[in-house]
């Protein structure tokens, strides 16, 4: 279409448009309309060819654009075609163009007419949004969204490594807000050293990262790899700054075992397990069972407490000289309908970590008081009950009031409740805990140190606290059976107890030889499987006639 045949007013209108019009005949001769739009490109506005225009197109887009034009021309279709590509301007910068064209019949020939529109800002903005959507703003690494996007395309024989900084909050408190930037930089350096760039790294949450390893590995190779990562990370963090020393939790998941519907659930489970239980670990075989069980127990714990699924058993404490039962220790037990028997060593630390330990402790106290009420109805004797107390409970502001409320509800005197506190908690010499213990003593509760002699013993607790009882740990008793020096130490403790009216209990009495030797050194009270095993409250109620004959004394 010759420009000379067009009215001048129409040409002026084209020249003032924001888009560049064009006309291409069946010999691919192109005329461009709108000098204002096309003057930024090194091309003649009249009688240029398609090849002249293609020479300005970015090499990565050129073949695609050529194919699209020739395919469209061959089709002789009247439908509109639209495509996007990059074109180099006079300053050498590539701008994004959206070209829209249509085939029309003109002078018995098929020609193309269309318009070019500069969409660079739109594309750059879209690219920026895409970058923001797929990258972590703090570290610049791929983010959770990008991991979920890429996860379905991972090969089944590859591995996912889960890394978490276990002490990030402490480091941020010590060295400031740039702790994450510095730690993530050390992590990248570590992975570059160990994996030789055969990986992608994603930041999934504040302190959790995922590494996709781009090669098949055997389980033992993965464990070696994680140990190398841990060792290198520790070395680099200490070399950079000793204040950056941080434990790196590491877990590995085979892509083939990844849940395609919820991969993040497995990622967060692994990160929490490596942070709280063990690291490094692989999520396969027996370890997978242990990890799954850990979270099954964790998820069921609160409901188990509230639904009274957790019950108590009672183990007597006896007077060594007379074999009379003077108290029962209430021990929590959990029989899960699907998971089976769950050890207190498994669920009590978990209750402390999850913040459920107070309601668990109150549940044990309630059941202990229920036992005393029923026992008192059929017996004249009035035994005590030992109830374990966590330091986490002692730090709760309403602890004393909550305990008193339970005892008031059942009509039980505080003097019949012996509160056992693990001695390791007293090593901290926490003034809040010491204050609560003194307050409990004033109300009439009897205080006991449990596990005395396990590790470093808080000897000063014998002088600082209003103690009624000290329970000697099984490990200390076993040592006394082997070492005369340890036996003499326990003998002195017994004498100290008699002088200061503190009752000593030897835990873990499991043989007659232990019983005889402890009786010989005048250990006042004993507890252990040789004497009585922990049994349900119903068992002891059935045996109450026998217990009553023993004429128990408080």
Domain boundaries, the chain: 3-123, 135-283, 310-544
User: In the predicted model, is pLDDT for residue 524 greater than 90?
Assistant: yes
Q: Which CATH superfamily does the domain covering 310-544 fall into?
A: EAL domain (3.20.20.450)
| DSSP-assigned letter for residue 152 | G
Average pLDDT over residues 44-55: 92
| Residue 201: predicted pLDDT | 96
* Residue 330, pLDDT above cutoff 60: yes
pLDDT tens digits, one per residue of 166-222:
877 777 777 777 888 888 899 999 999 998 768 999 999 999 999 999 888 999 999
69-86 per-position pLDDT tens digit: 998 888 767 788 999 999
Could you write out the DSSP letters of every residue in 329-395? EEEEEEEETTTEEE-HHHHHHHHHHHT-HHHHHHHHHHHHHHHHHHHHHH-S---EEEEEE-HHHHT
Q: Model's pTM, two decimal places?
A: 0.74
* pLDDT value of residue 513: 96
Residue 1 pLDDT exceeds 70: no
Task: Express the helix, strand and coil content of the chain in percent, nearest 5 each.
Answer: 50, 25, 30
Residue 110: its pLDDT value, please? 85
CATH architecture for segment(s) 3-123: 2-Layer Sandwich (3.30)
* Cα(97)–Cα(87) distance, integer angstroms: 7
- The predicted pLDDT at position 17 comes to 59
Residue 262 has pLDDT above 60, yes or no: yes
User: Which fold does the domain 135-283 belong to in CATH?
Assistant: Alpha-Beta Plaits (3.30.70)
* pLDDT, tens digit (0-9, with 9 covering 90-100), for 339-393: 999 999 999 999 999 999 999 999 999 999 999 999 999 888 899 999 999 989 9
Share of the chain above pLDDT 70, in %: 91
Residue 67 has pLDDT above 80, yes or no: yes
pLDDT value of position 426? 56
For position 451, what pLDDT does the model report? 85
**Could you check whether 135-283 and 310-544 share the same CATH topology?**
no
Q: Is the pLDDT of residue 552 over 50?
A: no
- Give the pLDDT band of residue 430 (cuts 50, 70, 90): confident
Tokens of 78: 């009247």
Whether the predicted pLDDT of 427 surpasses 70: no
Question: Of all residues in the chain, what percent carry a pLDDT higher than 90?
Answer: 70
Q: What is residue 380's predicted lDDT score, i.e. its pLDDT? A: 84
Of 424 and 75, the one with more pLDDT: 75
- 515, pLDDT greater than 80: yes
Q: Return the closest-CA partner of residue 334 out of 366, 361, 304, 355.
A: 304
């Amino acid at each position: 279409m010759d420009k000379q045949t067009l009215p001048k007013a129409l040409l002026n209108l084209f020249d003032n448009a924001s888009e560049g019009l064009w006309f291409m005949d069946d010999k691919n001769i192109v005329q461009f309309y709108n000098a204002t739009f096309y003057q930024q490109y090194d091309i003649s506005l009249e009688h240029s060819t398609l090849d002249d225009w293609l020479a300005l197109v970015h090499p990565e887009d050129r073949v695609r654009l050529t194919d699209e034009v020739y395919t469209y021309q061959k089709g002789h279709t009247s439908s509109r075609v639209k495509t996007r590509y990059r074109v180099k301007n006079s300053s050498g910068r590539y701008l994004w163009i959206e070209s829209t064209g249509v085939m029309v019949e003109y002078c018995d020939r098929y020609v193309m007419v269309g318009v070019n529109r500069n969409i660079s800002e739109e594309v750059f903005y879209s690219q920026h949004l895409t970058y923001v959507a797929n990258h972590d703003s703090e570290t610049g690494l791929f983010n959770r969204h990008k991991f979920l996007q890429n996860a379905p395309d991972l090969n089944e024989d590859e591995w996912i490594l889960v890394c978490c900084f276990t002490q990030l909050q402490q480091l941020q408190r010590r060295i400031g807000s740039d702790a994450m930037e510095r730690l993530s930089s050390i992590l990248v350096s570590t992975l570059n050293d160990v994996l030789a760039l055969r990986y992608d790294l994603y930041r999934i949450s504040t302190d959790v990262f995922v590494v996709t390893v781009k090669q098949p590995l055997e389980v033992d190779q993965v464990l070696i790899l994680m140990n190398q990562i841990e060792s290198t990370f520790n070395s680099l963090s200490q070399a950079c700054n000793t204040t950056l020393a941080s434990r790196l939790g590491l877990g590995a998941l085979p892509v083939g075992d990844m849940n395609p519907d919820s991969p993040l659930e497995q990622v967060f489970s692994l990160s929490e397990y490596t942070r709280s239980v063990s690291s490094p670990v692989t999520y396969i075989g027996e370890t997978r069972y242990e990890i799954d069980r850990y979270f099954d127990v964790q998820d069921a714990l609160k409901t188990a407490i509230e639904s009274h699924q957790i019950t108590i058993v009672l183990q007597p404490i006896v007077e060594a000289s007379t074999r009379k039962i003077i108290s029962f220790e209430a021990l929590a037990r959990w029989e899960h309908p699907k998971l089976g028997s769950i050890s207190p060593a498994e669920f009590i630390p978990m209750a402390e970590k999850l913040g459920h330990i107070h309601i668990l402790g109150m549940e044990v106290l309630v059941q202990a008081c229920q036992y005393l009420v029923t026992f008192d109805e059929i017996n004249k004797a009035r035994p005590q009950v030992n109830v374990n107390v966590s330091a986490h409970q002692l730090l709760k502001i309403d602890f004393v009031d909550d305990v008193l409320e339970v005892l008031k509800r059942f009509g039980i005197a505080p003097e019949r409740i012996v509160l056992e506190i693990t001695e390791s908690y007293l090593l901290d010499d926490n003034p809040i805990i010491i204050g609560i213990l003194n307050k409990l003593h004033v109300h009439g509760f009897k205080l006991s140190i449990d596990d005395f002699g396990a590790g470093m013993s808080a000897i000063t607790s014998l002088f600082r606290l209003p103690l009624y009882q000290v329970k000697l740990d099984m490990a200390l008793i076993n040592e006394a059976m082997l070492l005369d020096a340890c036996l003499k130490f326990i003998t002195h403790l017994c004498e100290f107890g008699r002088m200061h009216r503190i009752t000593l209990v030897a835990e873990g009495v499991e043989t007659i030889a232990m019983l005889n030797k402890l009786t010989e050194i005048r250990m006042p009270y004993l507890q252990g499987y040789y004497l009585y095993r922990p049994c349900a409250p119903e068992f002891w109620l059935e045996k109450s006639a026998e217990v009553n004959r023993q004429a128990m004394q408080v």
